[in-house]
Structure 1
Amino acid sequence: MVFRRLREWFRATFLGTDRRVLVLALARMADSIANSFLIVVLPLYIASGQIPIEGLVGVEVGGLAVSEELLIGIVLSLFGFLNSLGQPFTGRLSDRTGQRRPFILGGLALLGVASAAYAFVDNYYAVVAFRMLQGLGAALTIPATVALVNELATSVDRGENFGVFNTFRLLGFGLGPIVAGVLITGGLSGTSVVTYRLFGTTVSGFEAAFAVAVLGAAASFALVTLLVSDPPETEAAAGEDLSVAIRDPTGEHLLDPVFTLGLATLFMAIGIGLFATLQELINSRLDQGPFLFSVEFAAVVIANVILQVPIGQASDRYGRRPFIVAGFVLLVPTTFVQGLVTEPLLMIAVRLGQGVAVAMVFAPALALAGDLAGKGQSGTQLSILTMAFGLGVAIGPLASGFLVGFGFVYPFAFGAALAAIGFVFVYTQVEETVSDTVAPGGDIVPQDD
């Protein structure tokens, strides 16, 4: 009985979703595998000695000695900075032209080219340059993709559509680090980089990982090229008034609700981004290898994969705000405790808890912002949230690389404090947008105005 209901739910949810949303989700899954590969691969690549950094480590800049962790944090963060800072411009340009697909394809092309280039670089600055190119590629792709998903949805199924989209995207993001850890070390328990023989050529685990990243970007490009087109109403609704409000235009609150959700998303993403920079320290502290770190990193994503669609559907039915508020309440302890645990299994459990919190915020926040976005403004309005997420993922590694110098717990205490501030912002500045009630039989019944 339970399995039959699960099968029916799966069929109704995933097969009943707009085909273009599914294709965009699958394309983002392939692309996310490629990008999340690099979150695990690049720190190991730099730390392995294949990229000389001896002349940079120990140099004092503004009284601060440059460390290996800080150099890794810069590489990881640059992607997020260029990605996030570029999104308001590309999202607005996408709205103004009334086109999404060309932006998506152009961004995917840049991501693929940069991934291929890593195998040929021989200095730290080249790694930085190609990471910046990837950031620009993501800035083109993300706002246009999210805007298109929003425009293919209605207020009745917007949470579900974003849940489906985020599920596949995050599935790729979660699988990437695990596959990367196995590919680089040659197995689940390996701790050193292996080599492969491919068509008579010796290929390192790093080169194999970069090749998979390229294949992921190429698969995404092919899916979007063959199966996705801009709906006619997108071009027809191309907007001229694309301003972004900071103060609440209604005067009921201090801050605009979409801007508030952007701030809250920024704080959440910083908490997520703290973990990756500390890979070597975490592995030493927990006495583990790269594979277990990959599992811990992916635990947040795994929880999201499982919960995104059910929470998105529930937010369509019961409202967006309760899930967002509860998510920030849970985010505070699950972020802080990561700085205290010393066992791999406990770290996995805490990271799963953090993933549950993120799942409760992510799809409902996008859906709420989508509810508020006017016609022809999806790229501009939703880019506030996607920009904030990318900026947070960029700030997180830098913050942890700096704060860990004061003690291992400090980065995670900082993330927990930001989560608490995010809770206050959402609780005081954001109102519900779903005005329907649920009848006893489970049907949605619109309320009278």
Structure 2
Amino acid sequence: MIEKNVKRNLSTYYSSLSLLEDRTVLLLCVSNVLDRMSESILVPLLPIYAVRLGLNPLLLGVMFALLTATRAVASAPCGYLADRYGKRPFIACGMIIGALSIITLGFVTDPVLILALRALDGVAAGMRNAPTTTYLGDISDDETRPQVLSVYQSTGTLDATIGPAFGGIIAAVGSFSVPFVLLGGCTLLGGSLLAAFLPSIESESENRRLRPKISLGAVRGQSSPLFIALTLSALLSGLGLGATSPIIAPLLQETIGAGSAYMGMFWSLFSISLTVVMPVGGSLVNSFGKRRGVLVGKTIWTAVIVVVGSVHIWFVPPLLYMLGAVGSAFSGPALGTIRYETAPDGNDGTVLGVYSTFSSVGHAIGPLASGAIASAMSYQAAYLSVAVVWGLDVLVLASAFVVGETTTSVKNSPAE
């Protein structure tokens, strides 16, 4: 009896994985894994590679900021153009251009060219991010949309487990350029698969006839309280994520003596947790409630930041970040679904592009803000300040949800 109950529960919780039987969803998820693998090697390897080539700390910071800056600039225009000319070309071309920029990184030694390639990679990310989310929303219905988004997001988390380890091993036994070529080739393969096999959506021809226009009047018409709240939330969440990443390692080194082995375990456990729980969150979103899922997930992360920044015991950070993965499983698919369902038909890519732009701006500002606070005060103060950002994010969304905006969707599909 217990065994049957366990199997039944697993079948329910991981029912979202059955959507991989859909060839289009599977194709997008496989391409996402291939793309994110190459992206994930840049965090541990690119700084070492750049220092070997003579980039000073300032240029190293610019190198990472350029990606988010150019992605912020490209996201909204590319979302608009994808609404007008079709999402498939932007998804495939964005991945292929990003792959070529990563492969080329393995062969250039000029700092200016390295920075240019990072900027190009950011443009490529802006080309494909919003159109991909919109495409996934278009091929799913009200019931399956959170599950589709959760499966896609969970396949993307595999990169943090596979990419850095694979790239590090290759770099250790061969040239530093080899990982960029091999894993960039994986992204190129993913982009080629999408270009060859990703089907066009029938509604795209209708969207082209609608010819959405960007104007001040259109922006004012779209500026509902919910749209403003979701835009501000994208900025705040990007700010929080961007601020946390560069200071968590020095914080843990300062407070509990964490070394490279500890941080490797820390990020691996977090990545594995995301991969395991994200499909569960997608399966439970509709029954749990999208608004509730967003608020619960973000509240969990607020608490995680407060405890990790305050309690200095070696086993607390990995355990709390695993709890944070549960929060992401609730908030990620739910928020993605709300953003898609409340965007107007024909302009959904444009609106999602706006959210992506503000998120990228937050990602660019976050490291600068946390670095400034850490320099003026301490890593602990900088890290705890992120909890304030997450708390503001919760308050902004809760205020908009109380107004009841999510109960009326432009696509005639309720957010609950």
Sort the TM-score into its range (normalised by shorter chain).
0.7 to 0.9
Aligned residue identity for 2:68: G
CA distance in 1, matches of 2:207, 2:143: 21
Q: What are the equivalent positions in structure 2 for 1:199-278 lying under 5 Å apart?
A: 203-204=174-175, 206-238=176-208, 239-241=210-212, 255-278=224-247
Q: 1:294 to 1:417 in 2, by over 3 A?
A: same
The aligned residue for residue 189 of structure 1 is: none
- Report the counterpart of residue 102 of structure 2 in structure 1: 115
1:91 alignment counterpart: 79
Deviations 1:338-397 (A, max 9, x none): 445656543322322333333322111110111112222221122233333333333333
Letter matched to residue 415 of structure 1: V
Flag structure 2 segments of 5+ consecutive residues without an equivalent: none
Q: Which residue of 2 aligns with 1:281?
A: 250
Superposed CA offset, 1:130-180 (max 9, x none):
111100111111111111101011122211111111111222245333444
- AA aligned to 1:136 is V
1:349 aligned residue (319, 322, 339): 319
**Partner residue, 1:392:** 362
Q: CA deviation at 1:12?
A: 4.6
Q: Quick one: structure 1 residues 279 and 114, their matched pair in 2 at CA, closer, same or farther if it must change by over 3 Å?
A: farther
- Alignment-derived partner of residue 50 in structure 1: 52
Report how far residue 125 of structure 1 moved: 3.2
Answer yes or no: is the 8 Å Cα contact 1:175–1:298 preserved in 2: no
Q: Alpha-carbon deviation of 1:84?
A: 2.3
Contact kept in structure 2, 1:153 and 1:161, CA below 8 Å: yes
Q: Distance in 2 between matches of 1:385 and 1:128?
A: 25
Deviation of 1:11 (Å): 7.7
Q: Could you say if the C-alpha distance between residues 358 and 280 of structure 1 is closer, same or farther in structure 2, counting changes exceeding 3 Å?
A: closer
Per the TM alignment, residue 229 of structure 1 is displaced from its structure 2 partner at its CA by 1.3
Residues in 2 aligned to 1:302 and 1:11: alpha-carbon distance in whole angstroms: 15
Q: Which one has a larger percent helix, Structure 1 or Structure 2?
A: 2
Residue 416 of structure 1: aligned partner: 387
- Aligned residues: percent identity? 20
Q: Which has the higher strand share?
A: 1
- Does residue 334 of structure 2 align to residue 364 of structure 1? yes
Matched, 1:104 2:91: yes
Q: Which moved more, 1:368-377 or 1:129-138?
A: 368-377
Partner of 1:13: 16
- When residues 265 and 400 of structure 1 are mapped into structure 2, their CA distance, relative to the original with a 3 A threshold, is same
Residue 32 of structure 1: aligned partner:
36
RMSD (CA atoms): 3.0
Q: Secondary structure at the match of 1:375?
A: coil
Decide whether aligned partners of structure 1 residues 381 and 301 sit closer, same or farther in structure 2, where only a CA change above 3 A counts: farther
Where 1:409 maps in the other structure, the secondary structure is helix
- In structure 2, give the amino acid aligned to 1:78: L
- TM-score in terms of structure 1 length: 0.79
Letter in 2 for 1:158: R
Equivalent position amino acid for 2:7 in 1? R
Shift of 1:314: 2.1
Deviations for 1:171-206, whole angstroms, at most 9, x for unmatched residues?
Answer: 22453334445555xxxxxxxxx3x2xxxxxx23x3
Give the 3 Å change call, closer, same or farther, for CA 210–402 of structure 1 in structure 2: farther
- Distance in 1 separating the partners of 2:47 and 2:308: 20
Corresponding residue for residue 138 of structure 2: 151
Question: Between Structure 1 and Structure 2, how many residues are aligned?
Answer: 399
Q: Which amino acid aligns with 1:51?
A: L
Q: Is the 8 A contact 1:158 1:316 kept in 2?
A: no
Structure 2 counterparts to residues 162-201 of structure 1, below 5 A: 162-184=149-171, 194=172, 196=173
Distance 2:182 2:198 in 1: 23
Looking at structure 2, the residues matched to 318 and 260 of structure 1 have their Cα atoms a distance apart, in angstroms, of: 22
Q: Distance in 1 between matches of 2:248 and 2:303?
A: 21
1:323 aligned to 2:327?
no
Give the AA of the match of 1:50: R
Q: State the one-letter code of the partner of 1:44.
A: I
Give the structure-2-normalised TM-score.
0.85
SS at match of 1:324: helix
2: CA distance between counterparts of 1:92 and 1:397? 29
Moved more, 354-363 or 335-344: 335-344
Give yes or no for contact 1:24–1:224 (8 Å, CA) kept in 2. yes
SS of residue in 2 equivalent to 1:334: helix
Match of 1:403 in 2: 373
**Alpha-carbon distance between aligned partners in 2 of 1:3 and 1:208, rounded to the nearest angstrom:** 45
**Distance in 2 of aligned mates of 1:116 and 1:158:** 34
**Residue equivalent to 1:425:** 396
Tell me the equivalent position of 2:111.
124
Q: Take 1:398 and 1:378, find their aligned partners in 2: how far apart are those partners? A: 31
Q: Quote the Cα distance in structure 1 between the aligned partners of 2:14 and 2:262.
A: 33
